[in-house]
């Protein structure tokens, strides 16, 4: 039995959650233990976390998880929650706007919109919350098969393609957040 406080990491097998999960398990004397939440405990990434000392548990349905998180934070009297979220693209344009397709019947950008939608759970529960919006992970540029990977143009120069004109692209390394 350990006295370590348990940190439940949603998306622990992913990029952002994985960085946090590894930071916890790699610091065994830090006073925290990692409960890694994943939809697939048998995946290679989940098993790798288990081998490093995480407790791996299965859970699904993103909005339901966020709702439970907000409710639990309220019930536990959490003084300050940090909800890593994304912009709800539907705040910027109507679902009926057919310049972008509507996906799953309710989203324009599903992996953003669901997180932005979940902000309301924390607001409704009255949990003091910081809504954390992070920029692009530079690590994406190194992920095999990722669309953001730099491609060498006809001039031999490596370049990334992003639909943002001449605006700057903010970013952060996974190990830095």
Ligand X SMILES: NC(=O)c1ccc[n+]([C@@H]2O[C@H](COP(=O)([O-])OP(=O)(O)OC[C@H]3O[C@@H](n4cnc5c(N)ncnc54)[C@H](OP(=O)(O)O)[C@@H]3O)[C@@H](O)[C@H]2O)c1
Nearer to ligand X, 73 or 86 (CB): 86
Per DSSP bridges, beta strands 32-38 and 55-58 are parallel
Interatomic CA distance for residues 74 and 81, integer angstroms: 10
For residues 77 and 107, the answer to whether their CB atoms sit within 8 Å is no
* Position of minimal CB gap to ligand X: 14
CB of 63 to ligand X, least distance (A): 8
CB of 61 to ligand X, least distance (A): 6
Residues forming the site for ligand X (CB under 6 A): 11, 13-17, 38-40, 60-62, 84, 86, 111, 115, 134, 136-137, 140
Q: Looking up tokens 């491609």, which residue turns up?
A: 151
Interatomic CA distance for residues 141 and 144, integer angstroms: 8
Nearer to ligand X, 39 or 149 (CB): 39
Nearer to ligand X, 60 or 124 (CB): 60
Nearer to ligand X, 119 or 125 (CB): 119
β-pair partners for 33: 6
Token readout for 44 is 């290679």
CB of 29 to ligand X, least distance (A): 26
């Amino acid at each position: 039995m350990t006295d370590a406080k348990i940190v439940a990491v949603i998306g622990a097998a992913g990029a952002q959650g994985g960085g946090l999960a590894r930071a916890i398990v790699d610091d065994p004397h830090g006073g925290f233990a990692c409960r890694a939440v994943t939809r697939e405990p048998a995946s290679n990434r989940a098993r790798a976390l288990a081998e490093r000392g995480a407790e791996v548990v299965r859970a699904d349905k993103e909005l339901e998880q966020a709702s439970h998180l907000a409710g639990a934070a309220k019930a536990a009297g959490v003084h300050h929650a940090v909800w890593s979220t994304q912009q709800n693209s539907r705040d910027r344009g109507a679902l009926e706007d057919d310049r972008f397709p509507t996906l799953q019947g309710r989203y324009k950008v599903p992996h953003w919109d669901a997180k932005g939608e979940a902000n309301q759970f924390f607001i409704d529960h009255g949990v003091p919350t910081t809504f954390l919006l992070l920029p692009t992970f530079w690590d994406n540029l190194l992920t095999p098969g990722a669309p953001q990977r730099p491609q060498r143009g006809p001039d031999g120069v490596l370049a990334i393609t992003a639909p943002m004109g001449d605006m700057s692209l903010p970013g952060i390394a996974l190990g830095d957040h």
